Amino acid sequence: MTGTGMESKEYQIQVEDTGEQFVCKENEVILEAMKRAGCGPIRYGCFGGGCGICRMKIVSGSYPVVKKMSRTHVTEGEAKNGIVLICCVKPRANLVIARIKAIKKG
């Protein structure tokens, strides 16, 4: 047996809009795993929670926020409703995520 007992758990992440699925380790943020898997639809910028480009909704599943998200891009109320910057969250269960549809103004 070669295991060290330090292997991290892996979770399935499903992109609701496309049906794509990818694996995310418990110790990595969702954006890193999504980029590694080549899944979309995703855009990204700073990887630090400041630019807001990776804003998505977590439809189901458990996750902690591990980096500070800019309140300019995700309000407290939005965060309570599953809106996150996926560069700032790690899975703690299988997740379903979705793009946030742009609201046309005027």
Is 40 within 8 Å of 97 (Cβ atoms)?
Answer: no
> Quick one: average pLDDT of 34-46?
81
Q: Report domain extents, the chain.
A: 10-99
Q: What is the pTM of this model?
A: 0.84
What is the CB neighbour count within 10 angstroms for residue 104? 5
Q: State residue 72's pLDDT score.
A: 93
29, pLDDT greater than 50: yes
Q: State residue 41's pLDDT score.
A: 57
Residues pairing with 96 in the sheet: 14, 60
pLDDT tens, position by position, 49-91:
888 999 999 999 999 999 999 999 999 999 999 999 999 999 9
CATH number of 10-99: 3.10.20.30
Residue 105 CA neighbour count, 13 Å, CB half: 0
Q: State residue 11's pLDDT score.
A: 98
